[in-house]
Amino acid sequence: MNLQEMFQLQRILDERIETEHELLNEDLFDKKVLALLVEVGELANETRCFKFWSEKAASPKEVILEEFVDGLHFILSLGIVLKFHDYVNDIPLAGEIGEMDATAKFIEVFAQIQALQQKKSEAAYWKLYQSYYELGKILGFTPEEVEAAYLAKNQVNHKRQDEGY
């Protein structure tokens, strides 16, 4: 996964949105945190991993992947706001993730988002990134699938801006 390229594409999208919506002088950090929390909730809802009371199957993989990259957009955007994107080469990512199930990993991701919101530290940011990456692995996504889906959704987001979304 070319994280540097994804940061660059996210920066371009963020700058476009902030310019076109006259938000260049706004502090959008907390709004982006809330947006990320909402996106992760939507992702959990599509996986249905926590719905022990229901027999309905999870959404198709492509729907779950799209929700996953929606969250990734905001994680990258938060890294840009905090200026942690300039120091990326190859972030070491965990190999084996053990026996953690999706529900437990979602809870961990939510906790990492809150920790980042409170600390705004580089360590908290990369811990969130790592947890989210591991969530993607638990959901069955390869880094290549995530990158391709991110690139496709980034184009969709630009098109939405073209259309006055």
- Asked if 7 and 89 touch (Cβ cutoff 8 Å), the reply is no
Give the residue-averaged pLDDT of 64-89. 91
Q: Is pLDDT of 165 > 90?
A: no
pLDDT, tens digit, 9 for 90 and up, residues 90-135: 455 555 556 679 999 999 999 999 999 999 999 999 999 999 999 9
> What is the reported pLDDT for 161?
92
Secondary structure class of 34 (helix, strand, coil): helix
Residue 48 has pLDDT above 70, yes or no: yes
pLDDT at 25 over 60: yes
Mean pLDDT of 142-148: 96
Residue 38, pLDDT above cutoff 70: yes
Q: Is the pLDDT of residue 4 over 70?
A: yes
Given a cut of 60, whether residue 159 has pLDDT beyond it is: yes
Query: What number is the average pLDDT over the span 3-10?
Result: 95
State how far the alpha carbon of 15 is from the alpha carbons of 7, 9, 11, in Å: 12, 10, 6
CA–CA gap between residue 35 and residue 141 (Å, rounded):
22
pLDDT band at 70 (very low <50, low <70, confident <90, very high): very high
Question: Tokens at residue 28, please?
Answer: 């959008």
- Percent of the chain surpassing pLDDT 70: 92
Contacts of 165 (CB under 8 A, 6+ apart): none
* pLDDT given for residue 95 in this prediction: 53
Say what the pTM is: 0.92
